[in-house]
Structure 1
Amino acid sequence: MSTTMVGALVVLALLDSTSIGTLFVPIGLLLAPGRVRVVGVLTYLLTIALFYLAAGLAIAAGLGAIGDELTRFAESTAFSWAEVVVGVGLIALSFRFDPKRRAARGKTVDWSARITKATGSPGTLITLAISAGVLELATMVTFLAAIGLVSSSTVSWPVAAALLTGYCFVMILPALVLLALRVSLSDRITPALHRLNAWFQKHATGATSWILAIVGFLIARDGFARLAVAYHWFGQ
């Protein structure tokens, strides 16, 4: 395990910490009327972290079980074609996350209403966290990259599990910091939270669209380049 890999995991986790489920919803919980519900916010953050961790461990275990086969497949032209298909698919999927298109189809999710309903009990907060995690599964590109880094390394399974656990902790760390500031500073931090909340409402979905499009392009380009070499499309 190298410091470079750990650094890359930290960067990816911090990127993941800015998603709707890991930051926007917690900010909404912090802005709920009345005194901040510390236990409720912690319940939500613990649930979404455990959801990501469970998904990550399951995916990593699956990759480990088929490690040799996956390596052989990655060297084949079938894998290159798969890259092109997946890349184009991600680009197509990015258009479904375009804010204007989603608004026109009435597909926008009213997270503010969900947050308000969820503040009543721990059960509803847990349901909200799982719902956010499930909705983000299709766009968890950075988390998949982190799982790929861990799975492709030579670390043992306990170390891999510890790395993914640390990743999930870093992922919710900014929300934990905001919670601490909200408790210690009370209403003095509320204006900043409102501004951050407004920015998320305006840009979060659009950012997801761009991330999907960029990742899709990079994957498709890699697959196309590998196919061009394999089939000598541009001569010797």
Structure 2
Amino acid sequence: MTLTAILSTLVLLALIDSTSLGTLLIPVWLLMTPGRVRVDRFLIYLFTVSGCYFAIGLIIMFGTDAFLNNYAPLMVSKPFLLGQLAIGILLMIISQLMDTKKSRARAAERAASGGGYIFKWRTRFTGEAVSSKISITILIGLALTAVILELGTMLPYLAAIGILVTEGPAWPMSGILLLGYCFVMILPALILLAGRLLAYPFLKQPLQKIDNWLMKNAQRAAAWIIGIVGFLLSVNAIYDLGWVQ
């Protein structure tokens, strides 16, 4: 594979990765904050996500995946799978408790009054009333959480690392290409940030509508996500335990 083909493939995979939870959905949510956007905090979040991806890529490139393979027997042992099943069932129960008629009614009331936990959390991330140190700590925690949630869906990133290892140039050029990949991942979010800063008067009304919808439906969406994760964990554990064929 030529260098041009490698670069083209890496850019394509990076753009696919740029549509994930941590690189697009959460940045859009942060940009929908009313009033002035705290650019410094937004960039801290984005570059934390990008930096985590870069670190994970370096770890994989230098062969730590072989070290992790040593723990494969533990991950298919009966105690581990039973624990995974218990966690999956617990998550599904939590999702049901979160999504009730009363909770939906309260969420609608909070959205109508401009409140709700999603508004409060975003205020902690970006608001003026929160100290910079606390806000930065929370933002870094949010970025790390997003990366952890995406670990199981890093297929484009893993494919890119595979290309760099098998077809790409030697170190340190491979590391530079990996760093460029991680930057392209957050490039769409940076473009959206520029649009938010330059064209907010035109975007204010549609952003407000999206914001109200998000505050009203955030808890229900979170419940669905938790339930789906719990279901997948449970099904995987049941299958690996050999209870179904």
TM-score of the two chains, using structure 2 as the length reference: 0.60
Which residue identity is paired with 2:141?
A: T
Task: Give the direction of change, closer, same or farther, for the CA distance of 1:101–1:171 in structure 2 (3 Å limit).
Answer: farther
Counterparts of residues 124-135 of structure 1 (less than 5 Å):
124-135=138-149
Task: Give the direction of change, closer, same or farther, for the CA distance of 1:62–1:115 in structure 2 (3 Å limit).
Answer: farther
What does the per-residue CA deviation read over 1:181-210, in whole Å, with 9 as the maximum and x for residues that have no partner?
1111123123455677779x899x99xx9x
Which residue identity is paired with 1:158?
A: P
Matched, 1:42 2:43: yes
- Name the counterpart of 1:59: 60
Which residue identity is paired with 1:117?
A: R
Q: Would the aligned equivalents of 1:114 and 1:128 in 2 still touch at CA under 8 Å?
A: no
Matched, 1:151 2:140: no
Q: Would the aligned equivalents of 2:125 and 2:138 in 1 still touch at CA under 8 Å?
A: yes
What does the per-residue CA deviation read over 1:134-180, in whole Å, with 9 as the maximum and x for residues that have no partner?
11111111111111111111411111111111111110000000001
Counterparts of residues 7-26 of structure 1 (less than 5 Å):
7-26=8-27
What CA distance in whole angstroms lies between the structure 2 residues aligned with 1:113 and 1:101?
25
Matched, 1:181 2:183: no
Counterparts of residues 32-181 of structure 1 (less than 5 Å):
32-62=33-63, 103-104=95-96, 114-119=121-126, 120=130, 121-181=135-195
Which residue identity is paired with 1:20?
A: L
The CA RMSD measured in Å over matched residues stands at: 3.8
Over 4 Å off, 4+ runs:
100-107, 110-114, 191-199
Task: Give the direction of change, closer, same or farther, for the CA distance of 1:28–1:59 in structure 2 (3 Å limit).
Answer: same
What CA distance in whole angstroms lies between the structure 2 residues aligned with 1:60 and 1:30?
34
Structure 2, unaligned stretches of length 5 or more? 67-87, 100-116, 233-245
What CA distance in whole angstroms lies between the structure 2 residues aligned with 1:162 and 1:4?
17
What CA distance in whole angstroms lies between the structure 2 residues aligned with 1:9 and 1:101?
41
- Name the counterpart of 1:4: 5
What CA distance in whole angstroms lies between the structure 2 residues aligned with 1:12 and 1:190?
32
Which residue identity is paired with 2:124?
A: K
Matched, 1:29 2:30: yes
TM-score of the two chains, using structure 1 as the length reference: 0.62
Task: Give the direction of change, closer, same or farther, for the CA distance of 1:169–1:188 in structure 2 (3 Å limit).
Answer: same
Task: Give the direction of change, closer, same or farther, for the CA distance of 1:62–1:190 in structure 2 (3 Å limit).
Answer: farther
Q: Would the aligned equivalents of 1:28 and 1:112 in 2 still touch at CA under 8 Å?
A: no
Residue 118 of structure 1 and its aligned partner are, at CA, apart by: 2.5
What CA distance in whole angstroms lies between the structure 2 residues aligned with 1:24 and 1:185?
19
Structure 1, unaligned stretches of length 5 or more? 67-95, 214-236
What CA distance in whole angstroms lies between the structure 1 residues aligned with 2:94 and 2:6?
37
Sequence identity (%): 41
